[in-house]
Structure 1
Amino acid sequence: MRWPWRRRELPPVPSVTEVVERRWMLPRTLIILLSIIGTIGVLILLSQVATFVAPIFLGVNLVIAVMPLQQWLLRLGAPKIVAALAALLTVYVFLAALFWSIYWSVQSLVQELPGYGPEFNALYRNVMAWLEGFGISQDEALHQLQSAFSPSAIASGLTSVLSNAGTVLAFLATLTVVVFFLAWDSMHLPERVERIALTHPGIVRGVDRFAAGVQRYWVVTTLFGLIVSALDLVALTALGVPLALVWAVFAFVTNYIPNVGFVVGVIPPTLMALLANGPINALLTAILFSVINFVMQSLVQPKVAGDAVGVTPATSFLSLLVWAFALGPVGALLALPATLAVKTLIVDPDPRLAWASALMSNKLEPPRHGRLGRAVSPGVHGTSGVQGAT
């Protein structure tokens, strides 16, 4: 006699692939730690090869920025080589104008300073008297100046300047060659993109988003530089600061250094205002110049540039710190394009990194399950999929 029993449903037998995946699955904490260590390692590696990577990436940015001009000439029927040469000359003219502006500003300051010899001597006497009020005698101050400007200190400073000059020249030479070859290869870029799109359309879409973001970034940065330069020119002229046009052009150049460029640009006009018009005028110059440039460069421009590129203002600021560490001073200039490259080419194509894309993006779709995340957005209501499952 057979006794009846309740038939139990056995779980499905896992496949070989599932068994292997479970065997090699690492704990989530370990995956996060390894990811952080890997990211830091990549940044350190980039900092070691920054002199090689920075000019290449800057060249890529500049060629992409002038590509609309090249495409416009092609639509007008111009030969490919003519359109490529026009784009190449545009980049070279931009770089030449940029570095000539820096040279012109420094040269103008050097030529103007000797005319303020009496004012400089009076300023020196006032500083000495002010130091004596704190118990620092003139002999002690001169001793400190002599130690700071001793032959060994000057030799060390000149060696550092020459070393930096050699680095700058090597950077410019590499950038010039990179831009030339990239512009030359751009003649056949459409055919290559079409061929890649046949087998890897996702890569083409990512590169296209990156190129569009880079073009918007450079346009926004240049426009804000012109606005800041015009406002500085009006302010410095109203305060009677000598060489107001020179310092306005210098402010336009330093505007390409996000968030902190105005710190470099405020020094020359403040010094000229101090020598020409006295400490009160210099203080007003520093305050007005800093307010204009800080508000525009550090508050408004990162928001607008972040919207143009597609990242949040916090991501824009953090990218400045990260890429300045990885690529040096040029990394500060290329912070947003570099972050955009990582986002569009690495983060966005991977569905597993959708959470990182959501944190970086400034435009989000409404969530499907409102209760998820009520700790950070209590105004959102709805029912979550997890709760419904229970």
Structure 2
Amino acid sequence: MVLLFLITAIGFLVLPASADAITDAVQVANNVYVSNYTIDPAVLFTGDTATATFYVTNGNANQSVMVNHATFGDNDILLTSGTYDTNVNIGPLQTRSFVFSIGTQRSAGTYYPSFSMSFVAGNGMYSRTPVKVDNTPLVMTIANKPDAFTQGVKEPISVQVSNPRNNDVKNVIFQATGDDATLMPSQTYIGYLAAGTSTLVNFTVTPDSPTTLFLNVDYGNGDNDHTINTTLPILFTTDKMQADPVMSNIVIALNNGTYDVTGDVTNAGLSNANGVTVTSGSPAMPQDPQKNYVIGTLKPDDFGSFEVTFTSPDSTTSVPLQLTYKDNDGNIITSIQNIDLTQAKTQTGSQPSMVPSLVIVIIIVLGAGGYLYTKKRKNQ
């Protein structure tokens, strides 16, 4: 009987304590909730890692909550960091953050891993959180380029970089490389590129020979590095809109060993030819008075005359005439036209013309006649 009484008494004392503990656990669970969360990056590529941060708020104004375990993830979204397995206190009306590293190898889609938490007082809570996976990369397109490229001529190029993703990306860097070409600038830092936006990158290329440009964009999706690239062939063709100065009506004269060449330059192109200059090239040796001749600016269909003088070795049968001009960007463009010295007309510079002498004789005769006439009139 005594044993039975003791057992009954102990049972009476324990049961109310268990009921209070259950009540406290339920109250804790009812007052603790996830007030906010972030996933960075907000959208993952397959193979990316991200940082998930949960903000847990204790809505009880009088009672603290002791957390003894917290974790996040499932078979699709894998937890790559540790769980919270030590007691963490959340004071009345306070909010604490719980940070996890996660990763996934899943294909594109939306997954719902669980954030779960248990309390020292018993019971616990959990919530499912969407995590998006999207493998859409940035897009790079050639927005503007010239119709033709010419050796040594600087041309502008514009590249558009677009972000079709549903999240921002950071540390966006554009880079252009290529052999036998000068690129300015070769690298541009874009920085952040918001979701659904695009930006233009401008640079110039001055090719020395036909080549291929390699265009590359590096960017970060969170702390994950990604890249896109494309190529741009640089081929030399004729620019339909460029200036086209042409030499014509060339006349070659030889006077005491010095060649005097005259002619016209006509701009047969569709753009201005600026600073048009004509001079002779090796083996010719420019001589005064016209070592080179500056015509200036020639508008489309306009023309100008030139004259250059030079000497040349006796064995030379032809020399180049060099024509240079500047396009609207200041690029210097040169063309060469060979002239045949055997077609030169020899001037009689060593035999003075009879015309000046005849004029002098006539003046002397008229003067003498006038003098004699005047003298005769005075004598009369």
> Taking structure 1 as the reference length, what is the TM-score of the superposition?
0.16
Q: Which has the higher contact order (CA 8 A, sep 6+)?
A: 1
Structure 1 or 2: more strand by fraction: 2
Give the number of the structure whose alpha-carbon radius of gyration is greater: 2
> Taking structure 2 as the reference length, what is the TM-score of the superposition?
0.17
Structure 1 or 2: more helix by fraction: 1
